[in-house]
Chains A and B, each alone.
Chain A
Amino acid sequence: MQIYLPIAEVSVNIFTLLGLGGIVGLLSGLFGVGGGFLITPLLFFIGIPPSVAVATGANQVVASSVSGVLAQLKRKAVDIPMGLVLLVGGLLGSASGIYVFNLLTALGQIDLAVQLCYVVFLGLIGLLMLQEGIRTLQKQRKGGGARKKRVQHTWVHKLPFKFKFRASGLYISVIPPLLVGTLVGILAAIMGVGGGFIMVPAMIYLLNMPTKVVIGTSLFQILFVSAFTTLMHAITNQTVDVMLALLLIVGGVIGAQIGSRLGARLKAEQLRILLALLVIIVAGKLGLDLVLHPANLYSIASGGE
């Protein structure tokens, strides 16, 4: 059954979209990631114009992070002050990200920029996660082993504007979370992702936040940044396709529930290694596309220079 998308101006099979949303939802339920990093490239692949895919991807992230935040709030696993600091950075980043996005679109280099971002960030994070996962597995086999002390004093602790983040048990400057938020905001706007896969490692390794509040806090920040990104794209480019978003969301929520049940049966380390492999595969595929001789050297885009 075909459906004509009013903003994308293409006709797509409904079940393809529901399935796409479902797969991404399954992964997000399984691994606890937003899935934006998968949905945007998959939308490119089925022929949705890149600008529409990115803007609509942001709208889909809003839906998935709302259900996530609600669940985490109930568990009191959200550090709201930290989330607000990250948010301020995120909004700054998102606004400049949209500007960069429009600039790169005009230059004809947006596809390249998005692909490069994906290859670099996904590749890096995939490798880090894989290394971490394998190390944990090995440690478990050896049995126990002394845990590393979490709080380490680095340059981060010498910065001014210190603030007490109770839920995280941290007393640090607001500058590092502000910077992390900004970086994630920029990437979210350019790549059409929530940025959870970048923010979570940054919060753990750079800010030394305890793991139990990391996911809830990052979802809190992602919710507002992606909502802002959606609005900005809707206002400046008119590229949010609400019909496309709705179908992806419906598929996504169903997939997420199945995924979270499936995930309960697997071990955390196994999940992490699986996710790492998936991320590396996506990054590898995109990287190959950049390096291999393209099937067609020419591409066309509507609109003038």
Chain B
Amino acid sequence: MIRAALLVLGLCAAALPALAQTRQVLPARPGMPITNRPEPDEQIVAGLSRDNIGITTSFDGSQILIYGAIKREAPQPDGQKLAVIVTLEGPLGPVTIRRKSREFGIWVNTASVGVAAAPSYYAVATSGPMEDILSRRTDIQQRISIPLAMRAFSGPITVEDSIPFTEAMVDIRKQQGLYKMESGGVHIVDDTLFRADFALPANLIEGDYKTRIFLLRGGKLVDKYQSAIEVRKVGLERWLYSLAHENAPLYGLLSLALAVFAGWAAAAIFRFVR
């Protein structure tokens, strides 16, 4: 009985984020964000300092500058202050979050929650405190703040409360520099020009990094801009990675040959030196 209740609870929890996601693709209706409207009063014109990043052998993180201007046909509306939020999101991937508990005197992983898709990297830069410039509703619709960046759960939910798990995951990734929230990271000049700097960490995974720019007034979305930065391994990195995945036996033999040669050469060289 309790188990059945838990199952229902779990299903609800699993369905919630999915629900929020599907709402986004519904056709525009009154009250919805005006992204689908052809010509908003204010429009974003933006650029990226670079549209691709190559991971080379000496790759040690990278800087990305996202900049732009706000195009207006009419004078600025009064009252509500203008705000800009810029997000940068790495490729999505499944993640398993595990919790330890004490069993027979030692700490063992006993509970786990699977997230079907969580970004490998997610940074949010805002022009002001998030709670002042973004309404909860817009946040949920556009999935802007870090906790909303995670997508649906995967597999059956076996724990009573999954929130501590996802919170722990965000904390761990924040410590690793993979999730970042920079309040005040977007600089706006004269309510027209804006820029945001992102420092990408060295432990980057390849894929398309989606960048989104949100123009907001009074917590509501005025315009949205999307682009992507391609992050790819290049040169030797590309070659080794492809070989390891596409021709694993050959790669394995290559690693062995290298090890055998190094072992033999080391012995030979030191014998010669002596």
Stretch at the interface among B52-60, B72-80, B215-223: B52-60
- Shortest CB-to-CB span from A52 to chain B, Å, is 11
Stretch at the interface among B5-13, B16-24, B164-172: B164-172
- Against A, the Cβ 8 Å flags (1 = close, 0 = not) of B103-119 are 00111110010101000
Instruction: Give every chain A residue within 8 A of B107 (Cβ-Cβ).
Output: 290-294
Tally of contact residues, B, Cβ under 8 A: 62
- Against B, the Cβ 8 Å flags (1 = close, 0 = not) of A270-303 are 0000000000000000000011111011111111
Instruction: Give every chain B residue within 8 A of A257 (Cβ-Cβ).
Output: 266, 270
- Shortest CB-to-CB span from B267 to chain A, Å, is 4
Instruction: Give every chain B residue within 8 A of A294 (Cβ-Cβ).
Output: 100, 107
- Shortest CB-to-CB span from A65 to chain B, Å, is 7
For the complex, give the distance between the alpha carbons of A60 and B262 in Å.
10
CB pair A66 B259 closer than 8 Å: yes
CB pair B266 A253 closer than 8 Å: yes
For the complex, give the distance between the alpha carbons of A21 and B80 in Å.
61
A-B pairs with beta carbons under 8 Å apart, 10 shown: A6-B237, A7-B241, A9-B203, A65-B263, A108-B109, A242-B240, A253-B262, A303-B95, A304-B94, A305-B155
Instruction: Give every chain A residue within 8 A of B97 (Cβ-Cβ).
Output: 298-300
CB pair B255 A112 closer than 8 Å: no
For the complex, give the distance between the alpha carbons of A49 and B36 in Å.
43
Pick from B116, B240, B254: contact of A6, CB under 8 Å: B240
For the complex, give the distance between the alpha carbons of A148 and B240 in Å.
55
Stretch at the interface among A37-45, A189-197, A228-236: A228-236
Tally of contact residues, A, Cβ under 8 A: 56
Instruction: Give every chain B residue within 8 A of A64 (Cβ-Cβ).
Output: 263
Asked if A204 is an interface residue, CB under 8 A from chain B, the answer is: no
- Shortest CB-to-CB span from A21 to chain B, Å, is 11
- Against B, the Cβ 8 Å flags (1 = close, 0 = not) of A1-16 are 1111011011100000
Asked if A243 is an interface residue, CB under 8 A from chain B, the answer is: yes
Instruction: Give every chain B residue within 8 A of A20 (Cβ-Cβ).
Output: none
Instruction: Give every chain B residue within 8 A of A136 (Cβ-Cβ).
Output: none
- Shortest CB-to-CB span from A289 to chain B, Å, is 8
CB pair A305 B114 closer than 8 Å: yes
Residue in B106, B108, B256 with the greatest tally of chain A CB atoms within 10 Å = B256
Instruction: Give every chain A residue within 8 A of B61 (Cβ-Cβ).
Output: 11
- Shortest CB-to-CB span from B226 to chain A, Å, is 25
For the complex, give the distance between the alpha carbons of A304 and B116 in Å.
7
Instruction: Give every chain A residue within 8 A of B168 (Cβ-Cβ).
Output: 296-298, 300
Stretch at the interface among B133-141, B189-197, B244-252: B244-252
Asked if A213 is an interface residue, CB under 8 A from chain B, the answer is: no
Instruction: Give every chain A residue within 8 A of B262 (Cβ-Cβ).
Output: 63, 66, 246, 249-250, 253
CB pair B99 A297 closer than 8 Å: yes
CB pair A4 B93 closer than 8 Å: no
- Against B, the Cβ 8 Å flags (1 = close, 0 = not) of A233-262 are 111001010110110011001001100000
Instruction: Give every chain B residue within 8 A of A292 (Cβ-Cβ).
Output: 107
Given contacts A62-B260, A298-B97, A304-B96, contact A2 B240 (CB under 8 A): no
Instruction: Give every chain A residue within 8 A of B233 (Cβ-Cβ).
Output: 6
Given contacts A2-B202, A108-B109, A256-B266, contact A59 B98 (CB under 8 A): no
Asked if A211 is an interface residue, CB under 8 A from chain B, the answer is: no
Pick from A233, A291, A305: contact of B112, CB under 8 Å: A305
CB pair A11 B59 closer than 8 Å: yes
CB pair A4 B260 closer than 8 Å: no
CB pair A245 B255 closer than 8 Å: yes
- Shortest CB-to-CB span from B12 to chain A, Å, is 20
For the complex, give the distance between the alpha carbons of A243 and B107 in Å.
34
CB pair B55 A235 closer than 8 Å: no
CB pair A2 B58 closer than 8 Å: yes
CB pair A290 B98 closer than 8 Å: no
Asked if B173 is an interface residue, CB under 8 A from chain A, the answer is: yes
Asked if B4 is an interface residue, CB under 8 A from chain A, the answer is: no
CB pair B203 A300 closer than 8 Å: no
Instruction: Give every chain A residue within 8 A of B203 (Cβ-Cβ).
Output: 9-11, 47
Asked if A131 is an interface residue, CB under 8 A from chain B, the answer is: no
Asked if A71 is an interface residue, CB under 8 A from chain B, the answer is: yes
CB pair B202 A227 closer than 8 Å: no
Asked if A70 is an interface residue, CB under 8 A from chain B, the answer is: yes
Instruction: Give every chain A residue within 8 A of B106 (Cβ-Cβ).
Output: 112, 290-291
Asked if A67 is an interface residue, CB under 8 A from chain B, the answer is: yes
Asked if B183 is an interface residue, CB under 8 A from chain A, the answer is: no
Nearest CB in chain B to that of A243: its residue: B240
Asked if A138 is an interface residue, CB under 8 A from chain B, the answer is: no
